[in-house]
Chain A
């Protein structure tokens, strides 16, 4: 609870003052490898603004950034001093960038997953209610990991929070729409998996054939990016 109030305090403070323009370093930076800094940042709006800034006006010598659930890794091409990173974070950002929203994707889902009935039983509701809980609210792409293009979506409705399957499946089909722990996700390709499968989609998340083209942009290869919003639309 204290953490929520602290976050709220920081957010309000930012609204009142200039964005990221604090005299003090408002973000804890932790060294990770000779050329990386982990930046603690959990607030969705702040994360979105940071991702936009990192994509459009990155700090000098940034090699790449990698979102975690409560932080972001800033990986540079060579060692960079903490002060230099803090200076970039403290730089006022253009308001237009701050307002830039992530894309919103509507993903059609056939709720035909093999675990649908089991999930309904486990939480004591009907299959229709599971579908309603899963498709009833938009999600944010919090990060991608596990495999290329696999999105961790949140927040998942608390009633759908379930431990992963005791024995993971050796083969989950591409396009499987699933839930695991406190997240929803979609398997972009055939892979092993321990999440509960609720349905399937034809929505393509990863186009490896485009990854061979030097000129292809990230959006041509991956449909989603961290910070995007996703809504599931049930189809028959």
Chain B
């Protein structure tokens, strides 16, 4: 393990994340983990890491990091730092500073280090949950440790950059119409509500975070209340005001709002990259 980065500024937000801690929901433990598995996996693959290795999850912009040791770094998702473009990796020299600036679209960016970031784990995940006694948030002066030494590029020592294949990159300015599966209470909603869910453009609310994204639009006719039951990430819960909340990684493990739908697993990575105040559309999956 070697220190490779030092936090100079947290910007809008940053946290260590990995594949999360599924398996503990029945004790009330949220799954946590990276919001966009596709982008985090891409950053890791650029360095030959396991796709679920721990990465630095960056919210929007403003973060500053100092490189403490010559090392490869990979970036993917909605983040850019000077000459380090998203969906690419390059070699950095000790002393360089990364300053993250916003991309045109998207919310979350992922920075990977060789071997993944090494940090304490709770239930197998580096994701912290200070309120519940699991670690503390990153702050200025913290050093991030790489699990592996630097990459060896033996065949061509002059190679200083890697890029991801174009078809594996994503343009978050153009999300697809997201596919929905019927939720457990789908049949309890009036047909008009089921139609209205896919018949309008929803706006992602500014009141959205790692627990859930709220959607704004013409309210849906609600369904009868239910007893609290398990809630999976990607579920569209409809509270009394008729405006859906998409439950996400840090959200509650059980809930009492009827769930009209759940995003297809692959679609969640697109949804989380939809910025507040931008539109998202849904379609029923067949």
Contacts and interface: CB of A to CB of B under 8 A. Distances in A.
Q: Are A and B associated in one complex?
A: yes
Interface of A: 30-36, 38, 63-73, 75, 143-150, 152, 188-191, 206, 208-209, 211-212, 214, 218, 221-222, 225-226
Interface in B240-271: 252-254, 262, 264-265
Contacts of A69: 227-229
A148 B28 contact: yes
Nearest to A188: B132
Interface stretch (B18-26, B61-69, B166-174): B18-26
B134 A208 contact: yes
A108 to B, nearest CB: 22
Nearest to B123: A211
A73 B255 CA distance: 13
A91 to B, nearest CB: 22
B141 interface: no
A96 B23 CA distance: 26
A145 B24 CA distance: 10
Given A64-B22, A146-B252, A149-B27, A33 B234 contact: yes
B184 A30 contact: yes
A209 B229 contact: no
A51 B184 CA distance: 21
Contacts of A152: 228
Interface in B9-42: 22-29
B121 interface: yes
A101 B181 CA distance: 37
Interface of B: 22-29, 120-124, 129, 131-134, 181-184, 227-230, 232, 234, 252-254, 262, 264-265
A40 B134 CA distance: 33
A126 to B, nearest CB: 32
A64 B131 CA distance: 24
A32 B184 contact: yes
Contacts of B182: 31
Nearest to A68: B229
A189 B29 CA distance: 13
A226 B22 contact: no
A65 B232 CA distance: 12
A211 B28 contact: no
30 contacts: A31-B182, A32-B262, A33-B262, A34-B181, A34-B265, A36-B232, A63-B23, A64-B25, A65-B26, A67-B26, A68-B230, A73-B230, A143-B26, A143-B228, A144-B27, A146-B28, A146-B254, A147-B28, A147-B131, A147-B132, A148-B27, A148-B28, A148-B129, A191-B131, A206-B133, A208-B122, A211-B134, A212-B120, A218-B24, A218-B27
Contacts of B24: 64, 148, 218
A65 B22 CA distance: 11
Contacts of B25: 64, 66, 75
B147 to A, nearest CB: 16
B120 A71 contact: no
Contacts of A65: 26
Given A75-B232, A147-B132, 17 more contacts: A32-B232, A33-B234, A38-B230, A63-B22, A66-B253, A69-B227, A70-B227, A72-B230, A147-B131, A148-B24, A148-B28, A206-B132, A208-B133, A212-B121, A212-B122, A218-B24, A226-B26
A98 to B, nearest CB: 20
A143 B254 contact: yes
Nearest to A69: B227
> Which are the 8 A-B pairs with shortest beta-carbon distances?
A68-B229, A208-B133, A145-B254, A69-B227, A73-B230, A66-B230, A144-B28, A211-B122
